[in-house]
């Protein structure tokens, strides 16, 4: 980090980590992550936070607490688009599928209290999926649209072999038969989400002089 801290970047992706059952302050690299998130607000035009990183950023910037789930949110879930005019959602169907694999969640009602946040897509079962600051300098994805076909299967078989309490991933295997090949139902929208972010909020919006990136301000 020290090698790049004085540079500026068009975009940054901060991914998740299997530490969601810990309090944020108990994660041994929490202070370093806070430093990185604050740095990104000044040195990166748009930052994409995924899964636990989204929860961490929502807590750090807005004070939104993650909530424990009674059991793991695990599988492919239907979501609805709430703002069809938002550029992040251009080309999306009214309903789309996306993977989730997590033990904690962000309540939509908590996110809705934050004036600077646009809630863009939710799921009746999986809850908040996509939100962004008004200027989309911060984008939060609570699921895993980047997962490939076998990721959930590998997680499922790993936990099952370890004797952990794990259910079949929802809406993943045909007829819930784990001897069959998983059905890929999220790839198109996952690719579209990332391409929209790169096109509309990184490529088109980043200043020509990258050193002129303004500091993020909450509205």
pLDDT (tens place) for every residue of the chain, 219 residues total? 888 888 999 999 999 888 888 899 999 999 999 999 999 999 999 999 999 999 999 999 999 999 999 999 999 999 999 999 999 999 999 999 999 999 999 999 999 999 999 999 999 999 999 999 999 999 999 999 999 999 999 999 999 999 988 999 999 999 999 999 998 999 999 999 999 999 999 987 766 566 666 666 565
pLDDT reported for residue 74:
97
Are residues 110 and 65 in contact, defined by beta-carbon separation less than 8 angstroms? yes
Cα of 161 vs its chain's centroid, Å: 28
| Paired tokens of 136 | 């989309």
In a domain, 110, yes or no: yes
pLDDT reported for residue 22:
87
DSSP string covering 141-182, please? E-S-TT--TTHHHHHHHHHHHTT---PPPBTTSGGG-TTSPP
In a domain, 89, yes or no: yes
Catalytic residues: 51, 144, 146
In a domain, 153, yes or no: no
In a domain, 1, yes or no: no
pLDDT reported for residue 203:
83
pLDDT reported for residue 124:
96
pLDDT reported for residue 163:
92
In a domain, 167, yes or no: no
In a domain, 180, yes or no: no
pTM: 0.93
In a domain, 16, yes or no: yes
The CATH number covering residue 108 comes to 3.40.50.880
pLDDT reported for residue 206:
67
pLDDT reported for residue 113:
97
Domain count, the chain: 1
How far is Cα 120 from Cα 71, in angstroms, rounded to an integer?
Answer: 25
Pairing between β-strand 44-50 and β-strand 95-105 as defined by DSSP bridges: unpaired
Domain span at residue 104? 9-147+186-208
pLDDT reported for residue 96:
98
DSSP string covering 33-51, please? HHHHHHHHHHHEEEEEEET
In a domain, 91, yes or no: yes
């Amino acid at each position: 980090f020290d090698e790049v801290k004085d540079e500026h970047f068009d975009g940054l992706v901060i991914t998740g980590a299997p530490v969601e059952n810990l309090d944020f302050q108990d994660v041994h690299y929490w202070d370093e992550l806070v430093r990185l998130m604050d740095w990104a607000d000044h040195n990166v035009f748009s930052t994409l936070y995924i899964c636990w990183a989204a929860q961490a950023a929502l807590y750090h910037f807005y004070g939104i607490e993650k909530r424990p789930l009674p059991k793991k949110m695990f599988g492919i879930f239907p979501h609805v688009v709430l703002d069809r005019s938002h550029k992040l959602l251009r080309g999306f169907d009214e309903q789309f599928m996306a993977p989730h694999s997590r033990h904690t969640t962000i309540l939509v009602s908590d996110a809705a209290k934050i004036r600077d946040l646009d809630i863009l897509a939710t799921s009746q079962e999986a809850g908040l999926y996509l939100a962004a600051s008004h200027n989309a300098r911060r984008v939060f994805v609570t699921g895993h649209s980047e997962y490939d076909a076998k990721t959930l299967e590998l997680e499922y078989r790993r936990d099952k072999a370890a004797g952990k309490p794990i259910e079949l991933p929802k809406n993943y295997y045909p007829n819930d038969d784990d001897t069959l090949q998983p059905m890929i139902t999220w790839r198109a929208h996952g690719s579209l989400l990332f391409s929209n972010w790169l096109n509309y909020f990184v490529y088109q919006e980043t200043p020509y002089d990258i050193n002129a990136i303004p500091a993020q301000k909450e509205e």
